[in-house]
């Protein structure tokens, strides 16, 4: 006995395949965050290392999330530095999730800090503010 495939069966199969592909793409994109770091007042970002990581203030046990943090070199000539960060699956539902950036000199001295709330599908924009001691 040979199964018969009519137009309706074929159409339903194509639609279900399309839905699965779109759902998979959306799921993969929601974990990747794009963003940019600028310096207060639109000034040039000072020379140093920028450490960018995820933080959840509501999570008292572990504020820094995941093992992923990135370090970007600032040459002291750019007004904006772009980055890409992948958030852990466990953090996707937290409304208090934020991306934090620290600018440090070569000797480890903190020069500036900034953070921004994470919103699904929206690029993160962090402004570094000078740290006063």
pLDDT tens digits, 85-127:
887 666 555 788 899 999 999 998 999 999 999 888 889 999 9
Question: Which DSSP symbol is given to 70?
Answer: E
pLDDT tens digits, 14-47:
544 444 444 444 444 446 789 999 999 999 999 9
**DSSP of 80-113:** EEEEEEE--GGGTT-TT-EEEEEEE-TTS-EEEE
Q: What is the pTM of this model?
A: 0.70
């Amino acid at each position: 006995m040979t199964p018969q495939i009519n137009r309706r069966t074929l159409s339903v199969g194509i639609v279900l395949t399309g839905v699965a592909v779109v759902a998979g793409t959306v799921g993969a994109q929601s974990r990747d965050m794009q963003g940019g770091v600028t310096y207060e007042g639109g000034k040039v970002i000072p020379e140093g290392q920028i450490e960018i990581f995820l933080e959840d203030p509501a999570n008292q046990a572990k504020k820094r999330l995941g093992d992923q943090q990135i370090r970007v070199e600032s040459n002291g000539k750019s007004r904006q530095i772009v980055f890409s960060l992948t958030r852990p699956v466990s953090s996707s539902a937290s409304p208090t999730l934020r991306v934090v950036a620290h600018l440090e000199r070569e000797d480890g001295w903190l020069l500036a800090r900034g953070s921004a709330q994470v919103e699904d599908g929206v690029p993160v924009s962090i402004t570094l503010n000078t740290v006063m001691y």
